Amino acid sequence: MARPRVHDDALRARLLDEASVIVATSGAPGLTVRDLASRAGTSPSAVYSLFGSRDDLVRAVGDEAFARFAARLAAVPRTADPGADLLGLGLAYRENALAAPHFYRVMFGASGAGLQDGTRGPATASATFQVLRDAVARVLGSDSAAAEEPALGLWAVVHGLVELELGGLLPAGAEQRYVHVLRTAGQAILDG
């Protein structure tokens, strides 16, 4: 009797990477297990073995996108300078998007896979927003509730700049412009 084939973490990671490309470009409805398996060089049964169902796979792609994003934000050191820490989070946001644009699109693109499930998606997303809100609260010297609107404004600025860069709509020197605009807009938002 043949031994069952082991489906390891490397295959799981490869499937999530491939699935993120499909979901980012075609939306969650465009993801088929057969196509994904073919692209990843494995069998549909391997996909089902690792994820259970197609819907579970789509959720796993969204979860992976937010987990990567959360890890990138968590890697920003917390220092005695709250303003520098906030800038560091803005840079980490950009780095995350540029390093894994398909996962970024899964979280925030039209496919909405990162937010598709009304019970899981927003909870996953809210943890990453809480990091920003807490950093803004440190800069303002206020509580988290008072930081909500300024944090949302900063998120909009960062997100808009990243979208422009990913779309090729920012001229050369994007990083320097990004930092300059982030500082300028951030100060205006934080000053009220």
Query: What are the tens digits of pLDDT across the range 55-106?
Result: 999 999 999 999 999 999 999 999 999 999 999 999 999 999 999 999 999 9
Residue 41 covered by a domain: no
Contact 34, 46 (CB under 8 A): no
Secondary structure element (H or E) that encloses residue 49, with its range: helix 44-51
pTM of the model: 0.86
How many structural domains does the chain have? 1
In a domain, 119, yes or no: yes
The CATH number given to whatever domain includes residue 124 is 1.10.357.10
> Does residue 38 lie in a domain region?
no
The rounded percent of the chain whose pLDDT value lies above 70 is 89
Q: Are 166 and 97 in contact (CB under 8 A)?
A: yes
Rg (CA), the chain: 19
Residue 175 placed within a domain = yes
| Residue 119, domain extent | 61-191
Which pLDDT does position 80 carry in this prediction? 97
Query: pLDDT band for position 113 (50/70/90)?
Result: low
User: Closest by alpha carbon to 129, among 150, 110, 112?
Assistant: 150
**Closest by Cα among 158, 164, 159 to 185:** 158
Per-residue confidence (pLDDT) for residue 124, from 0 to 100: 61
- Per-residue pLDDT for 51 more than 60? yes
* Distance set, CA 140 to CA 71, 113, 123, 132, 173 (Å): 24, 33, 25, 12, 30
In a domain, 3, yes or no: no
The answer to whether position 76 is within a domain reads yes
CA distances from 110 to 31, 168, 186 (A): 14, 18, 26
How many Å apart are CA 27 and CA 4, to the nearest integer?
Answer: 33
Q: Are 153 and 94 in contact (CB under 8 A)?
A: no
